[in-house]
């Protein structure tokens, strides 16, 4: 099969377009012919390499995958060859206490397609049959691939962790990112008033079209000052954050008494300084998210099918242009998801 893979960690030039052996599904697995694979910032981190991540080279990136079932491993009866599917990117053991309680993203043996296991920058990928979610005909491949990582994470952040309620104020950072575009829509769907930040007025207008009520251009406005102005010094109930660094620290100051901050990334830096007095005196809650449970994606696909949420695709590139796709993601010039197609 054709694939884009890395044979070592490093920069964009480590991405190689070439041939790899076709994967063979084992017991309980399906083989999927990839029709589209969306990029995540996780792809950049995995390519670059971190001390506590180990991959087996050559390694194929990409966890957000939509395609057709091409073959079944032994014992698989839950899906048919030819079925249109989208994949949950988190792989869990299915037998531990967390998995049996429906909290599979807490599984101690949790693995991620494209990070720990071969992913979707390829013509074929294998995955556990339990990770398959049926894809309605009305949803295109590129739109389907834009759903799993960001919408599952945003769902977990808003509903499982923050438990956002109608009428609450929600601050969504980086409204032009994949997480941002998903969180804006889900928060609005929940009946919240949404404030978002972005690096350009153009991105803010697009974010408002998705459902944000207010926008803050962080290149020329202090988001903390603007949040206080917009909310008449009240503050927000929930912050959806995936940037880290100073944004994390100042986001705590945006919260009301008893507010909740949920984070799922460190785009601008993982080493943050926090005044703990703000947390215990103001009774704040700080939580992290590692994707979400498998059940989330079925609900998300149904909402997209009903037109209640919209996966946002910035552009689609052929698999052979994966290096360009990584450049676009690193430059942050996109709005929504960048998608590769074999």
Query: Which pLDDT value is given to residue 150?
Result: 96
Query: Which pLDDT value is given to residue 274?
Result: 86
Query: Which pLDDT value is given to residue 267?
Result: 77
Inter-residue contact 86 to 68 (CB < 8 Å) = no
For range 210-231, the mean pLDDT: 97
Which of 252, 279, 253 has the alpha carbon at shortest distance from 263? 252
Inter-residue contact 279 to 258 (CB < 8 Å) = no
For range 50-68, the mean pLDDT: 91
Cα gap 6→317, rounded to integer Å: 19
Q: Does 227 share its domain with 185? A: yes
Q: How far is CA 29 from CA 6, 85, 111, 182, 204, in A?
A: 24, 14, 15, 29, 42
Quickly count: other Cβ atoms within 10 Å of residue 160's Cβ.
16
Is 301 within the bounds of a domain? no
Q: Does 143 share its domain with 166? A: no
Indicate the Cα dihedral angle 125, 127, 131, 132, nearest 10°. 50
CATH of the domain at 135: 3.90.180.10
Cα gap 85→151, rounded to integer Å: 16
Residue 46 pLDDT > 90: yes
Cα gap 166→38, rounded to integer Å: 31
Residue 163 pLDDT > 90: yes
pLDDT in tens, 315-342: 999 999 999 999 999 998 899 999 999 9
Q: Which DSSP category does 37 fall into?
A: E
pLDDT in tens, 18-27: 999 999 999 9
Query: Which pLDDT value is given to residue 249?
Result: 92
Q: Does 99 share its domain with 199? A: no
Q: Does 161 share its domain with 122? A: no
Q: What is the number of domains present in the chain? A: 2
Is 294 within the bounds of a domain? no
Query: Which pLDDT value is given to residue 266?
Result: 83
Mean pLDDT estimate for the chain: 96
CATH of the domain at 176: 3.40.50.720
Is 159 within the bounds of a domain? yes
Give the ranges where 105-157 is alpha helix by DSSP (H). 141-145, 148-155
Peptide bond into 192 cis (omega under 30): no
Is 8 within the bounds of a domain? yes
Q: Does 61 share its domain with 39? A: yes
Inter-residue contact 176 to 207 (CB < 8 Å) = yes
Is 284 within the bounds of a domain? yes
Q: Does 89 share its domain with 199? A: no
Is 293 within the bounds of a domain? no
Q: Does 157 share its domain with 134? A: no
- For a pLDDT cut of 70, what percent of the chain falls above it? 100
Query: Which pLDDT value is given to residue 291?
Result: 92
273 against 192, higher pLDDT = 192
Q: Does 68 share its domain with 158? A: no
Residue that is last in its domain, among 288, 303, 319: 288
Q: Does 160 share its domain with 242? A: yes
Is 298 within the bounds of a domain? no
For range 269-276, the mean pLDDT: 82
Q: In sequence order, what are the beta bridge partners of 113?
A: 117
For range 178-191, the mean pLDDT: 97
Q: Does 326 share its domain with 255? A: no
Range of the domain at 82: 2-147+311-341
- For a pLDDT cut of 90, what percent of the chain falls above it? 92
Q: Does 281 share its domain with 175? A: yes
Is 303 within the bounds of a domain? no
The answer for residues whose C-beta is within 8 angstroms of residue 120's C-beta and 6 or more apart is 34, 37, 60, 62, 63, 64, 65, 67, 87, 113, 114, 145, 340
Inter-residue contact 18 to 2 (CB < 8 Å) = yes
Q: Does 125 share its domain with 238? A: no
Sheet containing strand 59-60, strands side by side: 15-19, 2-6, 59-60
Cα gap 128→331, rounded to integer Å: 34
The helix/strand count (H/E) of the chain reads as 11, 18
């Amino acid at each position: 099969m054709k694939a884009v893979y890395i044979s070592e960690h490093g920069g964009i030039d480590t991405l190689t377009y070439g041939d790899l052996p076709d994967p063979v599904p084992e017991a309980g697995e399906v083989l999927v012919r990839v029709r589209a694979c969306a990029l995540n910032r996780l792809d950049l981190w995995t390519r670059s390499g971190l001390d506590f991540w180990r991959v087996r080279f050559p390694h194929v990136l990409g966890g957000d995958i939509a395609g057709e079932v091409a073959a079944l491993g032994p014992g698989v009866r839950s899906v048919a060859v030819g079925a249109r599917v989208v994949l949950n990117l988190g792989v869990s053991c299915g037998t531990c206490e967390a998995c049996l309680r429906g909290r599979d993203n807490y599984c101690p043996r949790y693995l991620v397609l494209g990070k720990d296991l071969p992913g979707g920058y390829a013509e074929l990928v294998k995955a556990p049959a339990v990770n398959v979610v049926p894809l309605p005909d009305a949803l295109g491949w590129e739109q389907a691939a834009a759903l799993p990582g960001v919408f599952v994470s945003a769902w977990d952040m808003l509903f499982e962790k923050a438990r956002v309620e109608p009428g609450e104020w929600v601050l969504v950072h980086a409204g032009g990112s994949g997480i941002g575009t998903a969180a804006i829509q889900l928060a609005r769907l929940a009946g919240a008033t949404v404030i978002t930040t972005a690096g350009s007025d153009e991105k803010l207008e697009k974010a408002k079209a998705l459902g944000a009520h207010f926008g803050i251009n962080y290149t020329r406005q202090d988001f903390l000052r603007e949040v206080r102005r917009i909310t008449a010094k009240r503050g927000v109930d929930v912050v959806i954050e995936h940037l880290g660094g100073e944004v994390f620290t100042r986001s705590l100051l945006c919260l009301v008494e008893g507010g909740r901050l949920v984070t799922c990334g460190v785009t601008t830096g993982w080493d943050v300084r926090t005044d703990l007095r703000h947390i215990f005196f103001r009774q704040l809650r700080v939580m992290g998210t590692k994707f979400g449970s498998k059940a989330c994606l079925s609900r998300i696909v149904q909402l997209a099918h009903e037109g209640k949420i919209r996966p946002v695709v910035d552009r689609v590139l052929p698999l052979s242009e994966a290096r360009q796709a990584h450049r676009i993601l690193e430059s942050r010039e996109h709005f929504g998801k960048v998608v590769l197609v074999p």
